[in-house]
Amino acid sequence: MTPDPVSRAEGLLHYAFVDRELLRKALTHGSFSDVPGACDDYERLEFLGDAVLELVTREYLLDAYPLEAEGMLTRRKIVIVRKKNLAVHGMRLGLDGLALVGHGYIATPGARRSLAADLMESVIGAIYADSGLEEARIFVRREILETTDLGEPDPDPRSMLQEYCQSRGLELPVYRTRERSGPDHSPLFTVSVSIEGKEAGAGSGPTRKAAREEAARMALNNIERTV
């Protein structure tokens, strides 16, 4: 007889829950509510797991890169916690295939990736709720931090800034050209970038594209204080 998703998930996660209903909830998609007798979905545990992942990631990076400035640490953190990375690990573990979904759920490739990312966070939240920070830390380090490539972060700061906003449910960055100066053959553009109506950074460059990239880079350096 095929084991139920909770038993299978415990094997994949290498963690035995004291309260197995926490894991069941962590695997339950909102669409499952159209199934009679369904339990609550994973959104609250995902919310908790997001905070635990953030804390453990910061701890890890401070230990792993003791000489790095805050700006670079922030960029590395964004690489780790963004949905794209969480989806890779969630699908590697096969969590998307264990989710409890309703009849209305359409399993497109994009939906499965999004689901896998959400489940990674909800599982982290469930482990924390079940046994506390130390067990959650062990899981995050083993399944995410020690298996994520932490070489040089994504060199495209605009993509990184957009990923950060999407992962936090924020509006996408808005770029505005403040000034164009200099002669026609050698112009200088100054661009600012705003998030949720607040200026997060500004930069200059010989083209609008270069100025936007510099503004995004400055926003990433400032983001912990401005968002």
3-state secondary structure of 187: coil
121 annotated active-site = yes
152 is catalytic: no
- Can you say how many angstroms the Cα of residue 190 is from the centroid of all Cα atoms in its chain? 30
CA–CA separation, 15 and 155 (whole Å):
36
Which listed residue (41, 46, 50, 118) is catalytic? 50
| CA 173, chain centre distance (Å) | 17
String of DSSP letters for 198-218: EEEEEEEESSHHHHHHHHHHH
d(CA 121, CA 80): 12
Distance in angstroms (rounded) separating the CA atoms of residues 216 and 176: 12
Catalytic residue among 41, 46, 96, 121: 121
What residues act catalytically? 50, 121
